[in-house]
Amino acid sequence: MRDRTIWWLVGALIALRVVVVIGALSTDATAKDYPLSGDIMRFHEIAVSLATPYLVFEVEYPPVTLGAIELLEGGSFRSATVNLMVAALGADVLILAVIIWAWGVRAGLVYLVLGIAFVLDPFIYLRVDLLSVALAIGAVALLRRRHPRWAGALLAIACFAKIWPIALVPLFFFARNRKGWLPFAAISGLGLSLWIALWGVDGVRQVATFRGSIGWEIESLIGSIIRLGPNAVVYLENGAYRVDEVPGAATPLLLLLGLAAIALVWLLVSNRPDRESPRIADGLAPLAAICATLVTATIISPQYLFWMLPFTAIAAIEGERLVAELVMLASALSVLEFARLDGLVAGDRFPVLVVLFRNVVLIALLVLCFYRLAAAPTEGVDTDRSLVSAGANNTTVTSTTEQRSRRPAWADESSTST
């Protein structure tokens, strides 16, 4: 595929997103009873509250996201909706620009294609998740482009937007240039100290536990299994539909399981001679760490699948076609079950099975990532690269044979890092 054609496709897919957002803002998507508006109502409630966040008024979002919510509040439900959708669209385009800058236009095109399901039902533009995704992929891009200090600083900020980017922190250890550790540690320590000093340690608990929620969210791995039971009772808790209660011992066990899975990801990476390559460091490893976070969580909201898309795009252009297909399938299933949310809550068999199948796909994705990371560098890469293929600096790779016959681009990059 020629570069000019790729740029035209990128432009068309951006235009599609703009049209979708404009269409959503011109319809009942801004009404309070519209399914897309659930999070907007909560954001509006947070922004207009006169009570001190975390101390008096419980908030489930970290400080950076809280600041974004208050910044985007325009004084009314309608203005908050417009501001958030425009900002989220801007973040989506920013993510695309970062990917193109660090990994090439073909990676950007794959990113746009992977997100098609979220465009067909654009609830993602009424969520704040794109902020943390933009910050996280920006940090990885800065590390790839040999700006480790800025990368460390940006990843620290990302962790104060959402918790999940913490799973990417070990990436600094496996980069040849580890200068990002100091700014990451400094900003993280300062940010956490200010958070606790201003709002108390309970604010951290509110974020970590989603305001003290005790139930299994019906889209989580275990919650979707419990939902299959004939006597399962679904209830609304802190903005999420949940079932049953999480046993006291389950929470720390799930946390330990998630940390163990993430540690295994980076342990496998540490044993690879190509651990600094874009396929491993920027694609498979972050993707596997995020997937491990999801499958061990007590909540998997549909928009969480978007966290994986930029890293999947990078893996895809490096030959991981099956990985990309599984992520795209899981994303489509998440959008489908969101569209059938009422039926899911009511216990209709089809949406319940859709969620269960989505979670099976996530487990399969995690297993595949572990297999790829454990395989020898010359194994496990799909030889059919019909999605698109390019190296970190827009270097086109057309076949596995050609890739093996020359010095890889990542080797040159890592040897000249400063």
Q: Which amino acid is at 208?
A: A
pLDDT, residue 25, reads: 86
pLDDT, residue 128, reads: 93
Cα gap 116→302, rounded to integer Å: 14
How many CB atoms sit inside 10 A of residue 256's CB?
11
The helix/strand/coil state of 15 is helix
Q: Is residue 83 classed exposed, middle or buried when 0-12, 13-18 and 19+ CB atoms within 10 A define those classes?
A: middle
Q: For residue 48, what are its two tokens?
A: 């207009």
* Distance from the Cα of residue 130 to its chain's centroid: 8
Domain, as residue range, for 31: 3-415
The helix/strand/coil state of 102 is helix
pLDDT per residue as tens digits for the range 197-233 = 988 899 999 999 899 899 999 999 999 999 988 788 9
Residues of the chain with pLDDT under 70: 1, 28-38, 175-177, 378-418
Q: For residue 148, what are its two tokens?
A: 């480790």
* Distance from the Cα of residue 170 to its chain's centroid: 17
* Distance from the Cα of residue 200 to its chain's centroid: 28
pLDDT, residue 379, reads: 62
Please give the sequence-ordered ranges of beta strands (E in DSSP) within 298-360, or none if there are none.
Answer: none
Tell which residue, 101, 128, 98, 93, has the closest CA to residue 13: 93
**Which residues, in sequence order, are bridge partners of residue 217?**
242
Q: For residue 135, what are its two tokens?
A: 């910050």
CB 55 within 8 A of CB 200: yes
pLDDT, residue 391, reads: 40
pLDDT, residue 176, reads: 65
Cα gap 312→107, rounded to integer Å: 9
CB 297 within 8 A of CB 255: no
Helix 321-339 to helix 105-114 angle, to the nearest 10 degrees?
A: 30
Q: How many folded domains does the chain comprise? A: 1
CB 213 within 8 A of CB 184: no
Q: For residue 138, what are its two tokens?
A: 């920006």
Tell me the residue length of the chain: 418
CB 252 within 8 A of CB 298: no
